[in-house]
Chain A
Amino acid sequence: MTIPQLLIDVMQLLFDLAVPAATCTLVLAGVALRQESGVNFEVGGKFQRWMLWSVILLTLPQLLSWFAAQGINVPAQSAGIAGGWLRGIETSLASFVSDVVVGKLGPILAAFFVTKAALDASQGSSPLGSVVAAIFLLSVTGTAKLMQGFNSGGTFATVDMLASLWNYLAGTILPEAAGLAVAGTVINYARKRPFMPLVFSALAFLSVSGLWKLVQAMVG
């Protein structure tokens, strides 16, 4: 049965808007990150879910190729959208995401988080969560490019990207967080607050891969 051109164009529109949609979900993940303290995340929380959606949207063609490999007939992607109206819709939505969401809304939200950091500090809370969330929002484009670089292109690209994200978090982000933990240790010591947990946390941040191997070895 021949698929109508309109449906082919709509499918192509959705495929082409997957990357801009992933950018939007990354912005939502940045907001959710602050809601879940900023320096941590809740298991099953909104940050985790929006990041998972970002991964799924960025690996949509590869995810569908897995279904094709199982024998399910998945229509092939076309070179572009034939209809002018739908092409215009695609261009407008992509421009909206790049110019408005990433170009304007993200920096404004980050600025609000920086203000929130100052207000948090005035109330005696740590400003770090708001600052980290602001940095996340300002680096959405770079994060999306980084995640696209993690796309292995195979049928398991979704889980491969999740594994690469874990390696990036454990090998790059957490060692940098260890430096912040050292600064937090000194400040806590000066304020006569518990500081040893931060020392052990800093060592743990530098040893996450080893801790993962330890847990795997415990399971056997």
Chain B
Amino acid sequence: MFENGLLNLTNWTGNVIMPTLAGLFFAAAIYQFSKAHPYAHLAWAGFAALMCSGLLRALEAFAQQAGPNDPDRYWISILTLVNWVGNVMLPLYGVIQIVMLVLHSAGVLERMTIGDAWVRNLVAAMMCFGLSGLLRLAEFWIQNGTAGVR
């Protein structure tokens, strides 16, 4: 019964509360963006809140690289985490950096930080009115992601 209670608490936290908080994180990110304050960590937190069960599956997959009674299980799970960060996350982050390179060199982002603020205000207004659509878009990306890289 304690096991069932804890399992239900975990499921409720990860599948009900965290997706709900994702909306709040995105709203806070849009507000921070409109003020020209750092907003990236709130946007990433919003994505991560929608992916709690997937992140747990990832950690389980890292831990299951070794048998349950293998003394090296913890080390291998950390090693797998490091490999995943280096071989999956960093290349994706590299792609994002290339996109940022293009945007910076084209001068698009300059309108949102220093000088004229109207582009930043326009984008923030569009995101404010379209937040529910942005949430659905994030959920669609995550659901599509379950099919793997295609």
Q: Interface of A with B (CB < 8 Å)? A: 131-132, 135-136, 138-139, 141-143, 146, 171-173, 175-180, 182-183, 185-187, 189-190, 192, 199-200, 202-204, 206-207, 209-211, 213-214, 216-217
Contact = CB atoms under 8 A, between A and B. Distances in A.
A200 B6 contact: no
Interface of B: 1-7, 9-11, 13-14, 17-18, 21, 25, 41-42, 44-45, 48-49, 52-53, 55-56, 59-60, 62-63, 66-74, 77-78, 81
Contacts, number: 124
Contacts of A171: 68
Contacts of A179: 10-11, 13-14, 52-53, 56
Contact of B74 (A132, A177, A178, A207): A207
B52 to A, nearest CB: 6
Nearest to B1: A142
A203 B78 contact: yes
B55 A182 contact: yes
B70 A210 contact: yes
A157 B66 CA distance: 32
Contacts of B7: 176
B59 A202 contact: yes
Given A210-B69, A213-B69, A178 B6 contact: no
B25 A180 contact: no
B59 A206 contact: yes
Contacts of A173: 2-3, 6
Given A173-B3, A190-B42, A203 B56 contact: no
17 contacts: A142-B2, A143-B2, A172-B3, A178-B60, A182-B14, A182-B52, A183-B10, A183-B18, A186-B45, A186-B49, A190-B41, A192-B41, A203-B77, A203-B81, A210-B68, A210-B72, A214-B71
Nearest to B54: A182
Given A135-B2, A183-B14, A207-B73, A189 B63 contact: no
Contact of B66 (A143, A175, A210): A210
Contact of B45 (A138, A172, A190, A217): A190
